[in-house]
Amino acid sequence: MSRIWKKLFLLVLALSATLAFAQDVMLKPFVLASKAAGDEAQKVEATKAALTKAGFTIAGSYSPYANTTVIGVTNDELRSTAAKSEHGGFGAAMRVAVVKVKDEVQVSYTNPSYWANVYRMNGDLKDTAAKLQAALGKVDEFGAKGLTAEQLRKYHYAFGMEYFNEPNEFVKYGSHEEAVKAVEAGLAAGKQGVTKVYRVDVAGKKEVLFGVAMKGTGDSKIMDDTYLMSEIDFKDIKSAAHLPYDILVADNKVFAQYARFRIAVSFPDLSMMGANSFMNIMKSPEAIREALSLTVGGKKDAR
């Protein structure tokens, strides 16, 4: 083998090894930024200040239940990358959680690399990941044993369950503007227990992401943020950045990810049966679908 061909051969081997490694990187849904003793309210304000200083826009925040605040953030990379793929708007915002657990305050956020692949975005959001880490820190990724980018881009929890490209389409309006107006009105009315936390407009595209809070009582308790998270967010490090839920207006249509996808991809290691399992929230996906559909002007039986 000539020297040139030997060098080319070694180069091909090196590239192949690099690509194989990249494909095998295990991604997790959340990043633990920090955990330490402190005051939750003070940490929320400090977190918002750090995010703003790092160039993020605070789209909105809420406290879904006691000792927990979730902040929706966006930036130019998130909005522009969201515009490059179908329904990429689901990734137009990242979520940051501040949670008081006993005497400890945990700060965590959605892992941009994980969610970029979940939402099949045309980009890996590395710049956003670096800015979040610089602003808030990074102790470890958590929330799952880990999935590769390839697995995330074709993720579904189990046979017969929905993929990312199988969302609920609730209703179609005459125009994008009419659709957005209807969603805003439905969230403001809050008749189904669904209200607005934040809104993010995708750059240069008729696509708007809404983060929404869900409150339910009585028979509708099964779609309630507090109820759902009490069943599935039971580990020591909290995954509150799963919240809030999403509604997407894409052109003149209104969508949401079906809950069997949206919840499962945040908690991919959750057992199907037993304590703290999907079985405990078996009726929640349909309750969520119905509440969201009626909120945005769709029908009770919309699929």
Query: What tens-digit pLDDT sequence spans the chain (303 residues)?
Result: 455 544 444 444 444 444 444 457 899 999 999 999 999 999 999 999 999 999 999 999 999 999 999 999 999 999 999 999 999 999 999 999 999 999 999 999 999 999 999 999 999 999 999 999 999 999 999 999 999 999 999 999 998 899 999 999 999 999 999 999 999 999 999 999 999 999 999 999 999 999 999 999 887 899 999 999 999 999 999 999 999 999 999 999 999 999 999 999 999 999 988 888 888 999 999 999 999 999 999 998 755
**268 within 8 A of 147, measured Cβ to Cβ:** yes
Query: Six-digit token pair at 219?
Result: 């028979």
User: What single letter denotes the amino acid at residue 197?
Assistant: V
- Strands 68-74 and 140-142 come out as unpaired
User: What single letter denotes the amino acid at residue 11?
Assistant: L
Domains defined for the chain, CATH in brackets? 24-295 (3.30.310.70)
Look at residue 283 and give its three-state secondary structure. Answer: coil
Query: Six-digit token pair at 235?
Result: 């580990």
Q: State the burial class of residue 15 (Cβ atoms within 10 Å of its Cβ: 0-12, 13-18, 19+).
A: exposed
pLDDT value of position 21: 43
pLDDT value of position 220: 83
For the chain, the residue count is 303
pLDDT value of position 24: 75
**116 within 8 A of 81, measured Cβ to Cβ:** yes
Among 78, 197, 193, CA closest to 126: 78
Instruction: Say what the pTM is.
Output: 0.90
Omega prior to 244 cis, within 30 of 0: yes
Sheet of 57-62, strand order = 57-62, 68-74, 94-101, 104-110, 30-37, 140-142
pLDDT value of position 23: 53
pLDDT value of position 3: 56
pLDDT value of position 274: 82
**221 within 8 A of 246, measured Cβ to Cβ:** no
The CA distance from 243 to 200, in Å, is 15
